[in-house]
Chains A and B, each alone.
Chain A
Amino acid sequence: MMPTTEQMLAAVQLALREHVVPKIDDQWAQSALRSVDVILNHLQARTPVEGPMLHEDTAELVELLQSARTRLGHADADLDGFLAEAPALLGGYARVDALQALNHRGRERVDALLLLCRARRGEAAAEAVHADLRAYLLRHADRESGFFFPTYVGRPV
């Protein structure tokens, strides 16, 4: 059985903590080791779940954006492109970097729709779409919360 990526990252971290950190006095070197330790924590949290998280999140984006386009009667070539290409990627085995790029595009469209809803404040359709967008944003933050919290709490450098 192969060790998991998490186990391997943890082994690197343990080696640094046990054998390198106690021997370092220079404040720049100490800072570099703190930075590396934080990155290793982040990767251990992110690596095993990032793919499924992005898949779930992007699938929700497709539904959300499809519905928003219909309700707002909004014509946007980038949104159309995202909605046309996303199902094929989500339907097969996708690399994590491809999912990251797709998710990024989808969230760009969310940002654009937030601006649109802002410009159309007071319209019932825009208010309803805005509420859905905000709910999605909080779910997205919740999905990736473990990548950053509490990993990045602490001395930043």
Chain B
Amino acid sequence: MIELEALQDYFAGHMGSDVRVTRFRRTFPGISRETFLVWTEEKGAEGGYVFRTDALGGPICPVPLEYEYRIIKGLHATAVPVAEPLWFDAAPAIAEGRPVMVRRMVDGSNDIPGLYDEGAEAAARRQRVALEHAEKLATLHSLDLDATGFSDFVDIPASAAECARADYDRWMRIFREVRTDPFPLVTEAAFWLEEHLPTSAPRISLCKGNNGMGEEIWKDDRIVALSDWELAFAGDPAQDWALSQGMLTLGDAETTLGHYEDVAGFAIDRSSLDFYRVWEVWKAVPTLNNGLRPFLSGKNPRAPRLNLGFGRVKLFEQLLGMMIGKPMDEAAHIVAEWRKSPYRPENAAN
């Protein structure tokens, strides 16, 4: 449990004794990692910071916090909007040895009130929001990975044609390392997917991983910071669109993708997009199942870990069972129908 006094000492230790922490609150939901908004008083002015640490027993996503920090740090020097990264601590006492990163708070929200209102005006607004997101993704996907330094620490596929293969190999390795059950159906689904790996990509891009509604910081219908970079990777930009959390259903999907392609200057292969929609369901299994390990060891015996790391994983296993062996476009259609289930990511922040 983080306390005000400990935060005061921690921030003063990094920023000097004239900083006073006035209040803080934990953001919701934050099951993988714990994020706190911290407000300070500094020379008569108010400051705002975001303090982020691993949950007890480790994050759900099997990626170190330092990786996310380095991604944000690298992006801050580019045209991609991110919160200013301030420091990373590998194992500070305040978090009982868990890693911590601190960013400057951005004025905005991950929620867009009224976005799902009825009527033509709201529909037009949703399309504008989708186009705004498309432009930011295009900026991200156009970065030069060598010039920006990402190729120094991000796994880079050997060629654009190898993007899907590289992601497949990486996540198969993670799956076999972290799984808490044999999951033979998931292994079988991986072999089926391997037969359909895309063999081309427009370029090797820095991809965000989870993106879209609930993942970014908005103000006045503009993205002021792309947030949550723990699943960032180098690969086919089509893969980011497969994880765009409701963005392609916010307006007209082809209008949104067409605008992205105009800004980015390259095209998204729709059959690759189909593949990645199914592949992301598969990837959710090791990603979420990793979060069950601290539950089983007793380090984090909390119900959300159980529901995400076990129940949700088994649900995805069921979904893979429904798709296995089917043509990829048919499987992608099953995923699309599934996404219409009562849970919509864009409702998570409500």
The yes or no verdict on A and B being binding partners is yes
Residues of A near any B CB (own CB < 8 A): 27-28, 31-32, 35-36, 38-39, 42, 104, 107-108, 110-111, 114-115, 118, 133-134, 137-138, 140-142, 144-145, 147-149, 151-157
**Cβ of B271 < 8 Å from any Cβ of A?**
no
Q: Which residues of B contact A155 (CB under 8 A)?
A: 342-343, 347-348
Give Cα A104 to B314, complex, Å.
14
Is the Cβ of A156 less than 8 Å from the Cβ of B312? yes
Cβ-defined partner of A152 (8 Å) among B181, B303, B311:
B311
A111, A140, A157: the one contacting B31 at CB < 8 Å is A157
Structural contact, B185 and A140, CB atoms closer than 8 A = yes
Which among A32, A137, A153, A154 has the greatest number of chain B C-beta atoms within 10 A? A137
Query: Which applies to chain A's interface (DSSP): helix, strand, loop or mixed?
Result: helix
What chain A residues lie within 8 Å of B31 (beta carbons)?
157
The answer to whether A152 touches B187, judged by C-beta atoms less than 8 angstroms apart, is: no
* Interchain CA distance A140-B341 in the complex, whole Å: 24
A31 touches which of B29, B183, B187 (Cβ 8 Å): B29
Q: For the complex, is B116 an interface residue (Cβ under 8 Å from A)?
A: no
In chain B, positions 300-326 with a C-beta closer than 8 Å to chain A are: 303-304, 306-308, 311-312, 314-315, 317-318, 321, 324-325
A59 to B312, CA, bound (A): 27
Min CB distance A34 to B, Å, is 9
- Chain A residue at minimal CB-CB distance from B319: A149
B residues 146-203 with Cβ under 8 Å of A? 181-185, 187-188, 191
Q: In the complex, what residues of B have CB within 8 A of residue A154's CB?
A: 341-343
B314 touches A118 (CB 8 A): no
CB B105 to nearest CB in A, in angstroms, measures 20
- In the complex the two chains form, is A115's CB within 8 Å of B187's CB? yes
**B87 touches A (CB below 8 Å):** no
Is B318 touching A149 in the complex (CB atoms < 8 A)?
Answer: yes
12 further A-B contacts with Cβ under 8 Å, apart from A141-B185, A148-B315, are A31-B29, A35-B303, A39-B311, A107-B182, A137-B185, A137-B321, A141-B317, A149-B318, A153-B342, A156-B304, A156-B343, A157-B31
Given A152-B311, A154-B341, also A137-B184 (CB < 8 A): yes
Structural contact, B343 and A157, CB atoms closer than 8 A: no
Q: Assess the B28–A114 pair: CB atoms within 8 A.
A: no
In whole angstroms, what is the CA distance A34 to B181 when docked? 25
Nearest B residue to A41, CB-CB: B311
A22 CB → nearest B CB, Å = 18
Residues of A within 8 A of B321 (CB): 137-138, 141-142
B318 touches A145 (CB 8 A): yes
- A157 and B314 within 8 A (CB): no
**A153-B315 contact, Cβ under 8 Å, with A111-B187, A134-B188:** yes
Q: Which chain A positions have C-beta within 8 A of B348?
A: 155, 157
A114's contact among B181, B188, B304, by CB below 8 Å, is which?
B188
Q: Which of B181, B307, B324 contacts A104 (CB 8 A)?
A: B181
B26 surroundings in chain A (CB, below 8 A):
28
